[in-house]
Each structure stands twice: as structure tokens, then as C-alpha cells.
Amino acid sequence: MEPAISVEIKAEKPTDPKRSEWMGRVRTQATSAEQRVASCLRSMGLSYRRNVRSLPGSPDFANKSGGWVVFVNGCFWHHHTNCRRATVPMTNSSFWAAKFASNRGRDARAIRSLRKRSFRVAVIWECETRNPAALRLLISRALSSVGSSKP
């Protein structure tokens, strides 16, 4: 019996210093999309904690006692399906394809784990945060019976 051969394929990392510097300036917390969601949650009377590291995926917003979490995903980084912002850079496209697949896989694992713990999970995409009224409706539907005030 022959031993199994494991082959690991790694995509090249971008090496262009200008691109690296530009990508290093991308915010990971307190983005404008997150600020809009935070404002909407506050206006709905919902209390929350931000970036809760004790939960799978470190949700952007969470209320453990209320049993809900909200992820605010960037359309580019999490590759929002059928969104014009979910582009693939032409340079080093194999790296980016692997990166996006990895991000989406990690997101799915975190969501499954949270749902196993009986959390209600809402995923809000960056492009969905532009219209405050639509955002409020989206959050209220996703979290349904959460909160003291009616949305």
C-alpha cells in the first residue's frame, strides 16, 4: 500500500509595494457600513457589543442574552454574489480567487457554529447599508422578535 501524497497549492501573495501599502490601509473595524448598522440598531433600541471575540467569527454586533449576532460584510472582501463591488483584481487573480473562497468558507463555518448555539444570525452586506429605511427593515426581519420597540 502506497502512502497518500498530499499536495498543497498556495497562491502567490501580492508583492507590489504600492498595492501592499494600499491594502494595509483597509479598515477592518468601524467601517462606514458598520457605523450605519450601529446607528440603525441604536435607533431600534437594541443593545449590543461590538466585535465579540468570544463568539465564532467575532461578529461585528452581538447580544448574547438576546441570542442574536450581526455580521457586516464588505462586498469586495467577502465576494457578494451578483454585486458590482465584488470584483476580482486582474493582477494575481489566482491569489484573489483563493482568498475570496477562503473568506467565504470561514464565514460559513462561523455562521453554522453560531446557529448550532441557537443564535439568530444576520449578514448585512455593505451595499445594503446605503438606504436607512431598507436597512432597518432588513435588520428587523433578520432579528424578528428582538428588542423592546417595534421596528
Superfamily of the domain at 29-143: VSR Endonuclease (3.40.960.10)
Q: Return the domain boundaries, the chain.
A: 29-143
Query: Which residues are registered as beta bridge partners of 123?
Result: 71
58 contact partners, CB below 8 Å, separation of at least 6:
51, 52
| pTM of the model as a whole | 0.76
- Are 75 and 127 in contact, with CB atoms under 8 Å apart? yes
pLDDT in tens, the chain (151 residues): 454 554 455 555 556 776 566 555 555 567 889 999 999 999 999 999 999 999 999 999 999 999 999 999 999 888 898 888 888 888 888 988 999 999 999 999 999 999 999 999 999 999 999 999 999 999 999 887 544 443 3
